[in-house]
Amino acid sequence: MHEVIFLEPVFKEMIWGGSRLSEDFGYDIPGDHTGECWAVSAHKNGDCLVRGGSFSGKHLSELWEKNRELFGGIAGDVFPLLVKIIDAKEDLSIQVHPDDAYAKEHENGSLGKTECWYILDCDKDAKIVIGHHAKSKEELKQMIEEGRFEDLIRVIPVKKGDFFQILPGTVHAIKGGTLILETQQNSDITYRLYDYGRLSDGKPRELHLEKSMDVIGCPHRDISADRTREQFAGAVKEHLVSCAYYTVDRLLINGGADFVMEEPFCIFSVVQGAGSIDGTEVRKGDHFILPAGYGKYCLSGEMELICSSVGR
């Protein structure tokens, strides 16, 4: 198969969302509280359509079901990844995800959720929440029971270009003024730990304290990103993360370079600039898949891409 598969994003309005998906990416968003662009998704809550080519108008889930050869014939009930761009104008609630084993048992056989964040842009003083300060499960339970969430959560500064791998059991939240590209397992299971006491339609949003306490790892352990760079004549490939679920790289194209795809398939998101893939023009905001067997490809122009593939 030697065809680039372009996808149409699905947008989600969120109370914390903004309008940067329109302003920065030129997307036609449904309103000025648009929080999420589901750029590459086969999830039932937002299943992307193929734009152009032999599969035009089909959902990604349908390709996964009926044309598994496009994805190297890999096993799985659902398309394994979900790539999003998130525009957080306001703070998101503080949450934690279960792992596969916990989700399977407690959430009707769902997958758990490992996710990672590449900070596309953020305000000068932007922060995120990653981890917590409780030294043991007992201390964690006590702090939650006493409602000492502000003491519990670990807030850290972020800057453009930072990258974070977020394992299941990690307390986390995106805070306002942050634009993120997220690659994650295809799952929606989220336990809300704390919502800053905010009200939505006059009521606090539901919290999931018991399940949160079950899954939060104590004490918190940071994952150190192992970012390595490979220099090409007209490009730089920076490796961001590899885990059991995905591999994520960042490509900086300055002129152009040839690459060879070794993964079953690759998802590309153009996050800056413009250029082409094998002569087809692409620009910031485009998302596409190179299917199995695509082999050698050439990226040219002046652009930055995030490349996500299944774990190795």
Tell me the catalytic residues.
192
Amino acid at 288: F
Would you state the torsion angle of the CA atoms of residues 82, 239, 253, 72, taken in this order, to the nearest 10 degrees? -50
How many whole angstroms separate alpha carbon 280 and alpha carbon 237? 21
How many whole angstroms separate alpha carbon 176 and alpha carbon 162? 16
What are the angstrom distances between the C-alpha of 195 and each of 26, 222, 236, 305? 31, 23, 40, 33
- The DSSP call for residue 147 is T
Other residues' Cβ atoms within 10 Å of the Cβ of residue 197: 9
Which segments of 34-89 does DSSP mark as H helices, in order? 60-66
